[in-house]
């Protein structure tokens, strides 16, 4: 697994591009500068790894556009050792960013093919997370509550089970919408019965689907 000077130079250019688009959290930018995104890519697209675009990774899923990863990470305002639930492990790239932000990462994936691949792959790069194969709508109640929750697929609504698993004072960042376009929401849990949401632009994600999928 080679990470050449060329790759490092391309990452630096990507980070400069993200900063020009308004990403200002230096910890997030430093994390993206360190992570070899080309190692997370399907071989067919590896030469485009440091373009600010999403690409297919198999099982009908994508590795998110770097700007999207950076924005969601910035909105989370992660502090060291916070428990973070990621819904939609995918390639593991977002989980790697969260890990470099010193979060304790719990990540759930419903596509068995991706779950098995990423659970094996991420630790080889030094990123240690709790991996669970399951339905993202249900979250991980056995490990709750979480300080932060991030959804990395398009949810048609805000899942109530996930709100329940969020600590009071916690933040959830999720793209919400049941069409081709979702609106990024930042949801703050004010109390056990009250939340407050703000919106942060339009994005396009693969849909968040119910139940587990065995790749059949």
**75-95 per-position pLDDT tens digit:** 999 999 999 999 999 999 999
Instruction: Report d(CA 35, CA 153) in Å as an integer.
Output: 21
Q: What's the pLDDT tens digit per position in 54-75?
A: 999 988 899 999 999 999 999 9
pLDDT score for 1: 75
Residue ranges of domains in the chain, CATH in brackets: 56-203 (3.40.50.150)
Helix 5-20 to helix 66-76 angle, to the nearest 10 degrees?
60
DSSP labels, 91-107: TSHHHHHHHHTT-EEEE
DSSP 155: B
Would you give the distance in Å from CA 123 to the centre of its chain? 17
Residue 209, SS3 per DSSP: coil
Partners of residue 133 on adjacent β-strands: 109
Query: What is the average pLDDT value for the chain, to the nearest integer?
Result: 95
pLDDT score for 150: 98
pTM: 0.95
Q: Are 175 and 205 in contact (CB under 8 A)?
A: yes
Instruction: Report d(CA 121, CA 91) in Å as an integer.
Output: 9
Partners of residue 131 on adjacent β-strands: 107
Partners of residue 145 on adjacent β-strands: none
- Give the active site residue among 49, 64, 73, 91: 64
91 is catalytic: no
């Amino acid at each position: 697994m080679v990470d050449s000077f060329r790759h490092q130079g391309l990452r630096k250019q990507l980070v400069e591009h993200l900063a020009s688009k308004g990403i200002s959290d230096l910890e997030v930018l430093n994390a993206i500068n360190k992570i070899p995104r080309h190692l997370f890519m399907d071989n067919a697209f590896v030469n485009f790894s440091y373009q600010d675009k999403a690409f297919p990774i198999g099982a009908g899923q994508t590795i998110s556009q770097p700007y999207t990863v950076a924005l969601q990470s910035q909105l989370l305002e992660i502090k060291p050792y916070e428990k973070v639930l990621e819904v939609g492990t995918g390639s593991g790239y977002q989980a790697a960013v969260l890990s470099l932000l010193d979060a304790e990462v719990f990540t759930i994936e419903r596509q068995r093919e991706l779950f098995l691949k990423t659970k094996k792959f991420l630790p080889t790069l030094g990123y240690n997370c709790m991996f669970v194969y399951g339905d993202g709508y249900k979250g991980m109640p056995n490990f709750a509550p979480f300080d932060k929750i991030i959804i990395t697929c398009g949810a048609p609504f805000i899942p109530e089970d996930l709100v329940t698993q969020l600590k009071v004072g916690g933040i959830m960042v999720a793209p919400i919408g049941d069409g081709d376009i979702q609106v990024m929401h930042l949801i703050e849990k004010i109390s056990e019965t009250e939340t407050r949401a703000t919106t942060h632009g339009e994005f396009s994600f693969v849909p968040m689907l119910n139940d587990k999928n065995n790749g059949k």
